[in-house]
């Protein structure tokens, strides 16, 4: 009889435990927490193409009479630009690069006139072209990424070799109603190095983990440019009167690509939880 009672008690205990376990809710799997983003660093190459929109503050000549003339319509046509560079991404928000840029020939045009001399009106028309080679060290701050788009700002310092081509001064006018002979003066090509600086802004779009397309804007200050020896068509030189283009600036619009040479970190999704029944 005692054995029968123990068997019944054991059976009731097992049934009670099973019933309680069936009534307990199933605990949800632990939430997956992705690893914190790691700082990425590494080398990259870059290349850009774009267009310039250039201007100068003034066109000057050391001739004492030059101050008597008023300038009008002095400026440049647009020109293409190309650059390549190598840089280093220090972390997720700061990078720097060194670039070499060639800025194609931009046609120059402008006029000066005066009527300060009694009974006379004089006009000079200028034509020519200009190009630059620029070497610059740039730094950029990335401002965060939304939908693979990263806005950035930056600045750069360097040197610009500004070269003037085919500069020509055509003068004409009249004195007391009598036309003066037309004068033609041209300058030999010449170039000079200048300190240059720039500020940058733009958007980067990450196409792949290693390739980013950039749409960028740059404001460039390229310094001055000076012509070579001035001569007329009779061969008379006026070397003491070269022309100088002061304070050349440019608003540039560029489209470029950055290619990271080091693999960026990629996180694999967590393995699926398998519930055993």
Chunk the chain into consecutive blocks of 10 residues (it has 277) and report each block's average pLDDT, rounded to whole numbers: 46 49 53 55 94 91 68 88 97 96 95 72 87 98 93 98 93 66 81 96 94 97 91 58 90 97 60 54
Does residue 208 lie within any of the structural domains? no
Does residue 270 lie within any of the structural domains? no
Residue 7: its pLDDT value, please?
44
Does residue 34 lie within any of the structural domains? no
Separation CA 274–CA 246 (nearest Å) = 74
Residue 72: its pLDDT value, please?
78
Q: What share of the chain is helix, strand, coil (3-state, %, to 5)?
A: 10, 60, 30
Please tell me what DSSP assigns to residue 237.
Answer: B
How many domains does one find in the chain? 1
The helix or strand, by DSSP H or E, that contains position 4, with its residue range, turns out to be: helix 2-23
Range of the domain at 233: 40-129+144-156+172-189+222-263
Does residue 22 lie within any of the structural domains? no
Residue 123: its pLDDT value, please?
82
Does residue 35 lie within any of the structural domains? no
Residue 260: its pLDDT value, please?
94
Does residue 44 lie within any of the structural domains? yes
Residue 121: its pLDDT value, please?
75
Does residue 203 lie within any of the structural domains? no
Residue 129: its pLDDT value, please?
95
Residue 232: its pLDDT value, please?
74
Q: pTM of the entire structure?
A: 0.75
Please tell me what DSSP assigns to residue 236.
Answer: -
Q: Where are the alpha helices (DSSP H) in the chain?
A: 2-23
Does residue 201 lie within any of the structural domains? no
């Amino acid at each position: 009889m005692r054995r029968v009672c123990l068997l019944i008690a054991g059976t009731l205990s097992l049934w009670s435990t099973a019933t309680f376990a069936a009534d307990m809710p199933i605990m949800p799997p632990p939430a997956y927490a992705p690893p914190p983003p790691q700082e990425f660093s590494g080398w990259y190459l870059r290349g850009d193409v774009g267009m310039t929109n250039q201007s100068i503050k003034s066109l000057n000549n050391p001739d004492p009479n030059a101050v008597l003339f008023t300038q009008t319509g002095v400026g440049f046509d647009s020109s293409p630009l190309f650059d390549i560079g190598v840089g280093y991404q220090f972390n997720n928000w700061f990078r720097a690069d060194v670039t070499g840029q060639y800025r194609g020939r931009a046609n120059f045009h402008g006029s000066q006139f005066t009527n300060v001399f009694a009974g006379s009106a004089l006009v000079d028309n200028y034509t020519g072209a200009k190009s630059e080679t620029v070497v610059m060290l740039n730094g950029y701050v990335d401002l965060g990424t939304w939908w693979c788009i990263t806005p950035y700002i930056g600045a750069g310092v360097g040197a610009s070799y500004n070269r003037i081509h085919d500069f020509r001064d055509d003068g004409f006018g009249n004195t007391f109603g009598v036309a003066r002979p037309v004068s033609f003066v041209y300058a030999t090509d010449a170039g000079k190095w200048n300190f240059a600086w720039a500020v940058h802004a733009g958007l980067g779009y990450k196409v792949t983990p290693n390739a980013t397309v950039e749409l960028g804007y740059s404001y460039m200050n390229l310094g001055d440019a000076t012509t070579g020896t001035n001569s007329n068509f009779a061969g008379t030189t006026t070397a003491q009167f070269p022309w100088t283009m002061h304070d050349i600036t440019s608003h540039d619009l560029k489209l470029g690509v950055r290619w990271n040479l080091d693999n960026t970190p990629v996180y694999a999704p967590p393995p699926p939880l398998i519930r055993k029944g």
